[in-house]
Amino acid sequence: MTDKAAGILAIDVGGTGLKCAVIDDHGTMISERERVDTPHPCPPQVLVEAYAGMAAKHPAFDRISIGFPGVVRNGKVLTAPNLGTELWEGFALADTLSARLGAPARLINDAEMQGYGIVSGKGVEMVLTLGTGAGTALFRDGDLMPHMELAHHPVHDNLTYDEYLGVAAYEKHGKKHWNHHVQRVIELLYVLLHYDHLYLGGGNAKHVEIDLPANVSLADNDAGLTGGAALWRKP
């Protein structure tokens, strides 16, 4: 990339899809959202090269925001449940993508990046993503709280949130039964956190067909990209 422009390449890594778009500092999309299927297996260099190919089709950018489905810290991946933790543990994804694409990069959990694109900034707000697995993010008055990896915490009959709400559960039990799981988790999370508002995001949120409480709503899935602007609002 030699011709730089003031834009952010927002990257949303998913267990089934790799998505990206260039956004401005307010989170507005400058380019069309692009999606390709996630390769399987998907070791780090395969993912990096996939995004290098996607980025080449987009307008110029001078920063990169990455939302990753797992525990991340200081630019490195600690866990990658849906991509293979054994392949990813300790991988410096931010530095590697920065070097490959020629722009500084910041890395955050994917549910947290989506939350930045959704929350109002008032009270205790929670994001629950329903995709290949389940992801969560918690905000208080717009500030991100420490990450809780609820996806791997037991929720019912020794099943984790990932196993109870993920795509495998949807395919095994069917839409109606899976919706009962979603309803149960909505109730459990309220007992646990007494959130002011809960947002349901992720690719499978479109299958939610239960009557939602007044303080629970479906979120725009593009927030997984537009939330990337928030990563560059602070030094």
Which CATH number does the domain housing residue 39 bear? 3.30.420.40
Q: According to the model, what pLDDT value does residue 1 have?
A: 41
Domain assignment present for 1 = no
Task: Answer whether 161's CB lies under 8 Å from 185's CB.
Answer: yes
Q: According to the model, what pLDDT value does residue 152 have?
A: 86
Are 137 and 94 within one domain?
no
Half-sphere exposure of 164 (CA within 13 A, CB side): 21
What number of residues does the chain have?
235
Domain assignment present for 3 = no
Per residue of the chain (235 residues), what is the pLDDT tens digit? 444 568 999 999 999 999 999 999 999 999 999 999 999 999 999 999 999 999 999 999 999 999 999 999 999 999 999 899 999 999 999 999 999 999 999 999 999 999 999 999 999 999 999 999 999 999 999 999 999 888 888 998 889 999 999 999 999 999 999 999 999 999 999 999 999 999 999 999 999 999 999 999 999 989 999 999 999 997 7
Domain that holds residue 159: 119-219
Count of beta carbons in the 10 Å neighbourhood of residue 158: 7
Are 108 and 140 within one domain?
no
Domain assignment present for 2 = no
Task: Answer whether 24's CB lies under 8 Å from 140's CB.
Answer: no
Are 104 and 153 within one domain?
no
Whose CA is closest to 224, among 36, 67, 71, 80?
A: 67
Half-sphere exposure of 234 (CA within 13 A, CB side): 4
Domain assignment present for 67 = yes
Are 196 and 161 within one domain?
yes
Q: According to the model, what pLDDT value does residue 150 have?
A: 87
Domain assignment present for 105 = yes
Q: According to the model, what pLDDT value does residue 4 have?
A: 57
Are 164 and 213 within one domain?
yes
Q: According to the model, what pLDDT value does residue 6 have?
A: 83
Q: According to the model, what pLDDT value does residue 221 have?
A: 87
**Helix axes of 93-101 and 44-55: crossing angle, nearest 10 degrees:** 40
Are 26 and 103 within one domain?
yes
**Which residue's entry shows tokens 């717009």?**
142
Domain assignment present for 159 = yes
Rounded CA gap, 128 and 112, in Å? 10
For the chain, the domain total comes to 2
Are 149 and 211 within one domain?
yes
Domain assignment present for 163 = yes
Count of beta carbons in the 10 Å neighbourhood of residue 33: 17
Q: According to the model, what pLDDT value does residue 2 have?
A: 40
